[in-house]
Amino acid sequence: MDSNVSSSSPSAPGRSLVSAKVVVAGGFGAGKTTLVTSVSEIPPVSTEAVMTEASEQHDDLSSTPDKVTTTVAMDFGRLTLEQELIMYMFGTPGQARFWFMWDDIVRGAVGAVIVVDSRRLADCFEAIDYFETNQSAPYIVALNRFDDQLPYTVDQIREALEINPEIPIVDFDARDRNSAGGVLKTLLRYALSRPREADPAA
């Protein structure tokens, strides 16, 4: 696949479009909404709500002091790759009080990107546990570079999060379209490389 992210365009004559659903998950303030917004070729649908004083009792704002909104349902965006594949992106809410919606959001997805703020590794533990348990949805880990740097190496983070060696871990800038698009392509490559589970109805 080309390293650049393609913009929306019609498929070539005689070629059919294939669609894929992917989930963008992770902890509070990790950069999920930013990723979806930066790569979506349509105006993204977002359920960002202004944070209130009540949120301060639930959400740790020490590493994100400038954050004034939060996702309360989901984000949605669309990206066309290689003029044949349409990717529909569904971003999950990061706060624990909204996790009851995750099962519905993840259902039918080919895989998930877990966005991680490496300054707050503990915030992604629950997301990783969720996808480790939900074996039907493969996942990769994407380390969002805040201030254009990572405080730890990929190997150190893999060890800290106890991520299996075969699961890709990539670093990226959620604000950059090509960087974020590269993360989604990595997920698709990984999902396609995994053996398909047998159809229980067969």
Per-residue pLDDT in tens (0 to 9) along the chain, 202 residues: 444 665 555 545 556 789 999 999 998 889 999 999 999 999 988 765 544 444 444 445 454 444 444 444 579 999 998 778 999 999 988 666 666 788 889 999 999 999 999 889 999 999 999 999 877 789 999 999 988 888 899 999 999 999 999 999 999 999 999 999 999 999 999 999 987 654 444 4
The DSSP line for 71-90 is: EEEEEEEEEEETTTEEEEEE
Per-residue H/E/C for 15-46 = CCCEEEEEEEEECCCCCHHHHHHHHCCCCCEE
Q: Give 47-82 pLDDT, tens digit per residue.
A: 655 444 444 444 454 544 444 444 445 799 999 987
Which of these, 135, 106, 127, lies nearest to 26 by C-alpha position? 127
The residues spanned by each domain of the chain are 18-47+71-193
Q: What is the spatial distance between Cα 154 and Cα 156, in angstroms, rounded to a whole number?
A: 5
| Six-digit token string for 80 | 């066309």
Q: What is the spatial distance between Cα 5 and Cα 8, in angstroms, rounded to a whole number?
A: 10
CATH class name, domain 18-47+71-193:
alpha beta
Q: What is the pTM of this model?
A: 0.79
| Six-digit token string for 91 | 């971003």
Question: Quick one: DSSP state of residue 57?
Answer: G
What pLDDT is attached to residue 154? 94
Which residues is 23 bridged to in the sheet?
A: 90, 112
